[in-house]
């Protein structure tokens, strides 16, 4: 009876992607980050589990927003 | 996208760009975009503005006008839904057990066009033995119970007496007490186990426990209600168990939802939970006919989801995450916080608002936020 569920296709789940090293530097510079200020996301969060992200990576989240059409948000991966 | 709009990508939000392109004649796009950017920048909230305070008041004031009652679905079957202020409190506190958990189950085609809708609904609902038994016949002589089964319901659920007997005998509450077998007429026979003398009382007790034995369906779902929404059928349930429901093969796993934020976090992650909080809170506010800007709710939802797990707006949730001892103490249970901080030797860096208010210092919001930046010239002072 069990069917395979692709969490990323659910209407509530926005697109998650791992940010590249180069882009990571850009983000840190743009927002003047000193390390841990970004909001967090667990590395075993259902929406990022398939990305195999390591703690310390930055996840780029492209949300569909009712006010701005599309908005970009960043979260830092943490282990549990 | 129009060529003239390209430089504005990243400066203006997408919805505005799309609107300009849609509504403006091509010749004027450049001018309109220029003006729009100017307007957008003046409308944007200023750095250092205390947005949390604005949100709190914007949600709080209309909140005083909300009803305190729970309502029924008007007309459609008897199903309780928490609405109004209690529901808002429930969401924002990050409660783990809801007063009225609910699911909206979307179905795959062809089931969403009404095919076997009753059957689907029944498969979702938690069924106990009592519901498919028409009569419990107690045999005083042999100390056994014969449960007469409702053949029609059995067929609808896809059960045979043999499978039912197996499912029932596995039940924890029953397995020690009695043995279960099916007989020739296709009914269940429950017989008391054990060597010691068992009386009539035990038999009656057995009957009552047997009634509540779980047979099939999804645990926790106490009511199901097939509803037509727009041009498809969905199933609304009382009771929530997303994980199990998503496993059913007639369920559309991409749209099915629960009103339990924790279940959503577990199954779809923190970003989905954020979206669910916004939608759930906004639904209540809209239903009450109030007018709160969705951005305020977004801010609250973001705050609740910052740590990667849901944190309610309580002293155990977001407040406990604050870095400053004084800020935590100013919310609730001050003595507990002060004592614990003293024991741990915590240092308060006075980086935020409340602690500076307490100490009568300039608060780092608005004009109090920026410090003075100056380049010191080398050389002698004249």
Contact with chain B for residue A3, Cβ under 8 A: yes
Contact with chain B for residue A11, Cβ under 8 A: yes
Which pLDDT does position B114 carry in this prediction? 75
Of B13, B14, B254, the CB nearest to A9: B254
B175 vs B183: CA distance, rounded Å: 18
Which pLDDT does position A59 carry in this prediction? 92
**Percent of chain A topping pLDDT 70:** 94
Three-state SS across B34-103?
HHHHHHHHHHCCCCCCCHHHHHHHHHHHHHCCCCCCCEECCCCCCCEECCHHHHHHHHHCCCCCCCCCEE
B366 vs B313: CA distance, rounded Å: 24
Closest among A45, A42, A66 to A55, alpha carbons compared: A42
- Report the SS3 class of residue A56: coil
Residues 6+ apart with CB under 8 A from B156: B118, B119, B122
B33 vs B17: CA distance, rounded Å: 8
The β-bridge relationship of strands A69-78 and A40-42 is parallel
Which pLDDT does position A2 carry in this prediction? 57
For residue B265, the distance in angstroms to the closest alpha carbon of chain A comes to 8
Contact with chain B for residue A39, Cβ under 8 A: yes
With beta carbons under 8 A apart, name residues in chain B contacting A48: 269
With beta carbons under 8 A apart, name residues in chain A contacting B248: 1, 3
B202 vs B197: CA distance, rounded Å: 10
Answer yes or no: do A10 and B275 touch at CB < 8 A: no
Answer yes or no: do B269 and A69 touch at CB < 8 A: no
With beta carbons under 8 A apart, name residues in chain B contacting A67: 13, 15, 294-295, 298
Q: Contact at 8 Å (CB) between A7 and A45?
A: no
Q: How far is CA A74 from the centre of its chain?
A: 6
A37-46 burial string, b = 16+ CB within 10 Å, else e?
ebbbbbbebb
Contact with chain A for residue B22, Cβ under 8 A: no
For residue B144, the distance in angstroms to the closest alpha carbon of chain A comes to 35
For residue B232, the distance in angstroms to the closest alpha carbon of chain A comes to 17
With beta carbons under 8 A apart, name residues in chain A contacting B267: 7, 46
Contact with chain A for residue B246, Cβ under 8 A: yes
User: Domain residue spans in chain A?
Assistant: 7-78
Q: Encoding tokens for residue B216?
A: 């099939």
Which pLDDT does position B179 carry in this prediction? 74
DSSP B296: H
Chain position carrying tokens 């609304």 = B236
Q: Give the torsion through C-alpha atoms of B129, B131, B133, B136, to 10 deg.
A: 80
Q: Between residues 260 and 289 of chain B, which touch chain A (CB distance below 8 Å)?
A: 264, 266-272, 275-276
With beta carbons under 8 A apart, name residues in chain A contacting B309: 42
Q: Contact at 8 Å (CB) between B296 and B320?
A: no
CATH of A7-78, one of 3.90.940.20, 3.40.640.10, 2.30.110.10, 3.40.50.10470: 3.90.940.20
pLDDT 10s digit of each residue in chain B, 382 long?
Answer: 777 788 888 888 888 888 888 888 888 888 888 899 999 999 999 888 999 999 999 998 988 887 766 555 555 556 677 778 888 889 999 999 888 898 999 988 888 887 788 888 888 888 888 888 888 888 777 777 888 888 788 887 877 777 777 777 777 777 666 777 777 777 777 777 765 666 777 778 778 888 888 888 888 888 888 888 888 888 888 888 888 888 888 888 899 999 999 999 999 999 999 999 999 999 888 888 889 999 999 999 999 999 989 999 988 888 888 889 999 999 889 999 999 999 999 999 998 899 999 999 999 998 888 888 788 777 776 5
Which pLDDT does position B311 carry in this prediction? 92
| E-state strands within chain B | 71-72, 80-81, 102-106, 127-128, 133-139, 144-149, 178-182, 188-192, 214-216, 223-229, 232-238, 257-258
Q: Encoding tokens for residue B218?
A: 């999804």
Q: Contact at 8 Å (CB) between B312 and B95?
A: yes
B182 vs A57: CA distance, rounded Å: 59
Q: How far is residue B33 from each of residues A20, B69, B119, measured CA to CA in Å? A: 32, 48, 55
Sign of CA dihedral B327, B333, B336, B338: positive
Which pLDDT does position B53 carry in this prediction? 92
Q: What are the φ and ψ backbone dihedral angles of A73, each rounded to 5 degrees?
A: -140, 150
Residues 6+ apart with CB under 8 A from B52: B299, B303
- Other Cβ atoms closer than 10 A to B22: 7
Residues 6+ apart with CB under 8 A from B1: B9, B17, B21
Which pLDDT does position B69 carry in this prediction? 60
For residue B252, the distance in angstroms to the closest alpha carbon of chain A comes to 9
A10 vs B114: CA distance, rounded Å: 23
Q: Encoding tokens for residue B159?
A: 């059960």
B314 vs B303: CA distance, rounded Å: 12
Answer yes or no: do B14 and A68 touch at CB < 8 A: yes
B325-365 adopts what CATH topology?
DNA polymerase; domain 1 (1.10.150)
Contact with chain B for residue A40, Cβ under 8 A: yes
Answer yes or no: do A48 and B269 touch at CB < 8 A: yes
Cis preceding linkage at B110, omega within 30:
yes
Closest among B13, B102, B122 to B280, alpha carbons compared: B102
| E-state strands within chain A | 15-18, 40-42, 58-65, 69-78
With beta carbons under 8 A apart, name residues in chain B contacting A46: 266-269
The β-bridge relationship of strands B232-238 and B223-229 is antiparallel
Q: Contact at 8 Å (CB) between B281 and B91?
A: yes
Chain position carrying tokens 């056994």 = B144
Of A5, A40, A47, the CB nearest to B253: A5
B63 vs B58: CA distance, rounded Å: 9
Arch. (CATH architecture) of B55-100+259-321: Orthogonal Bundle (1.10)
- Report the SS3 class of residue B370: coil
Which pLDDT does position A42 carry in this prediction? 92
Which pLDDT does position B232 carry in this prediction? 87
Q: What are the φ and ψ backbone dihedral angles of B235, each rounded to 5 degrees?
A: -115, 125
Which pLDDT does position A73 carry in this prediction? 92
Chains A & B: contacts with CB separation below 8 Å: 97
User: Domain residue spans in chain B?
Assistant: 3-43, 55-100+259-321, 127-216, 325-365
With beta carbons under 8 A apart, name residues in chain A contacting B373: none
Contact with chain B for residue A35, Cβ under 8 A: no
Instruction: Give pLDDT tens digits for A13-63.
Output: 999 999 999 999 999 888 888 877 899 999 888 888 888 888 888 999 999
């Amino acid at each position: 009876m069990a069917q395979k569920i692709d969490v990323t296709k659910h209407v509530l789940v926005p697109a998650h992607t791992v940010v590249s090293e180069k882009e990571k530097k850009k983000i840190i510079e743009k927002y003047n980050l000193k390390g841990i200020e970004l909001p967090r996301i667990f590395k075993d969060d259902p929406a990022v589990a398939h990305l195999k992200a390591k703690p310390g990576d930055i996840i780029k989240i492209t949300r569909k927003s009712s006010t701005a059409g599309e908005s970009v948000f960043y979260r830092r991966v943490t282990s549990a | 996208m129009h060529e003239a709009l390209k430089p504005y990508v990243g400066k203006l939000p997408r919805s505005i760009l799309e609107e300009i392109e849609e509504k403006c004649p091509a010749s004027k796009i450049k001018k309109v975009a220029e003006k729009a950017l100017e307007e957008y920048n003046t409308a944007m909230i200023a750095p250092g503005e205390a947005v949390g305070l604005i949100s709190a008041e914007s949600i709080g004031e209309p909140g005083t006008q909300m009803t305190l009652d729970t309502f029924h679905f008007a007309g459609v079957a008897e199903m309780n839904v928490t609405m109004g202020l209690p529901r808002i409190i429930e969401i924002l506190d990050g409660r783990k057990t809801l007063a009225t958990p609910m699911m909206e189950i979307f179905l795959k085609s062809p089931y969403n066009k009404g095919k076997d809708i009753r059957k689907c609904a029944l498969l979702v609902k938690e069924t106990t033995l009592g519901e498919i038994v028409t009569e419990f016949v107690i045999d005083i002589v042999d100390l056994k119970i014969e449960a007469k089964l409702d053949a029609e319901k059995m067929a609808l659920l896809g059960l045979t007496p043999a499978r039912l007997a197996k499912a029932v005998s596995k039940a924890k509450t029953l397995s020690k007490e009695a043995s279960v077998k099916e007989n020739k007429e296709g009914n269940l026979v429950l017989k008391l186990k054990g060597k010691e003398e068992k009386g009539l009382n035990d038999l009656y007790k057995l009957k009552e426990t047997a009634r509540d034995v779980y047979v099939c369906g999804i645990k926790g779902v106490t009511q199901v209600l097939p509803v037509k929404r727009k041009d498809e059928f969905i199933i609304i349930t009382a009771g929530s168990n997303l994980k199990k429901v998503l496993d059913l093969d007639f369920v559309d796993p991409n749209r099915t939802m629960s009103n339990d934020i924790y279940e959503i976090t577990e199954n779809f992650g923190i970003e989905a939970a954020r979206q669910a909080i916004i939608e759930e809170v906004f639904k209540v506010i809209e239903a009450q006919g109030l007018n709160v800007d969705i951005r305020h709710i977004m801010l609250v939802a973001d705050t609740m989801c910052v740590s990667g797990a849901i944190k309610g707006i309580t002293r155990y949730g977001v407040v406990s995450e604050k870095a400053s001892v004084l800020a935590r103490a100013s919310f609730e249970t001050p003595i507990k916080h002060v004592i614990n901080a003293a024991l741990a030797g915590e240092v308060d860096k006075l980086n935020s608002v409340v602690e500076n208010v307490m100490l009568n210092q300039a608060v780092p919001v608005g004009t109090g936020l920026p410090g003075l930046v100056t380049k010191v010239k080398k050389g002698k002072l004249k």
